[in-house]
């Protein structure tokens, strides 16, 4: 097969980290080496503080409290109201709405 301007045995063109074949032929490059989507996100991607999953290219996200959050994950830690277009407070590095600015949250 031909990929990355080189010729490969089909069994040799695998993820640099997990050594598995690419699902549906999809891979990402880092330092000119191919990685499967899962390993690329785990090793080099940005992780959402809210859900723990990768923020992938094209995802809408919010940067707040020195972290990144999917827009849908940036909610009040108490009542889960959407905070992406609202004012918020931070308690123990967790966003809260103005109604819960005095809440006690675990660290």
Give the 3-state secondary structure of the chain: CEECCEECCCCCCCCCCCCCCCHHHCCEEECCEEECHHHHHHHHCEECCCCCCEECCCCCEEEECCEEEEHHHCECCCCCCECCCCCCEEECCEEECHHHCCCCCCC
Question: For the segment 9-56, what is each residue's pLDDT rounded down to a tens digit?
Answer: 888 899 999 999 998 888 999 999 999 988 998 898 899 999 999 898
What's the pLDDT score for residue 10?
86
- How far the first Cα of the chain sits from its last, in Å, is 52
Question: For the segment 48-80, what is each residue's pLDDT rounded down to a tens digit?
Answer: 999 999 898 789 999 999 999 999 999 999 999
What's the pLDDT score for residue 97?
96
Ordered by where they begin, the domains of the chain are 2-44 (2.10.110.10), 46-100 (2.10.110.10)
| pTM score above 0.75 | no
């Amino acid at each position: 097969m031909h990929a990355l301007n080189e010729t490969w045995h089909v069994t040799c063109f695998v993820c640099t980290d997990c050594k598995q074949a690419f699902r549906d032929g999809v891979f990402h490059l880092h330092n000119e080496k191919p990685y499967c989507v899962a390993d690329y996100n785990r090793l080099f991607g940005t992780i959402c503080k809210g859900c723990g999953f990768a923020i992938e290219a094209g995802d809408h996200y919010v940067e707040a409290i020195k972290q990144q959050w999917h827009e849908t994950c940036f909610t009040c830690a108490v009542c889960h109201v959407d905070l992406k277009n609202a004012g918020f407070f931070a308690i123990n590095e967790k966003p809260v709405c103005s109604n819960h600015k005095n809440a006690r949250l675990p660290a």
